[in-house]
Amino acid sequence: MEYSESLKKNRDFQVVYRKGTSFANRYLVMYVMENQLERNRVGISVSKKVGNSVVRHHLTRLIRESYRLHEQVFRSGYDMVIIVRVNAKDRNFRDIESALLHLAKLHHITKRQENENDINQND
């Protein structure tokens, strides 16, 4: 079973910002970089502009849970930094979840669901 861990150190975030690619939608920005590991590492950043600590922590939990529930559709070997935008403040779980999956698809880091056998065909 794959498992993911958190990106915690500021310098890990900085490396992903510098070397990764980014896509954004209304609620989130996602930076992605390959990490040469068998697992993904996920970092979540919520600025004070988004809200107070209760709001920020709530959004962090929504993203972490969205990722956890869909972990099996993410390909392994990536560092991801997810930045929450101010518009996400009053959004519910479904909105955050679909924003996360939308960005994952743009980055091509999801496994193709139709046919599991040819996942790496387009790499």
Provide the pLDDT for residue 46: 97
The β-bridge partners of 28 are: 84
Angstrom distance (rounded) from CA 20 to CA 13: 10
Angstrom distance (rounded) from CA 69 to CA 118: 23
Question: Whole-prediction pTM value?
Answer: 0.86
User: pLDDT digit string (tens) for 25-66?
Assistant: 999 999 999 999 999 999 999 999 999 999 999 999 999 999
Provide the pLDDT for residue 5: 84
Domains parsed from the chain with CATH numbers: 5-108 (3.30.230.10)
pLDDT band (50, 70, 90) for residue 13: very high
User: pLDDT digit string (tens) for 57-115?
Assistant: 999 999 999 999 999 999 999 999 999 999 999 999 999 999 999 999 999 999 875 44
Q: What DSSP string describes 42-56?
A: EEEEE-TTT--HHHH
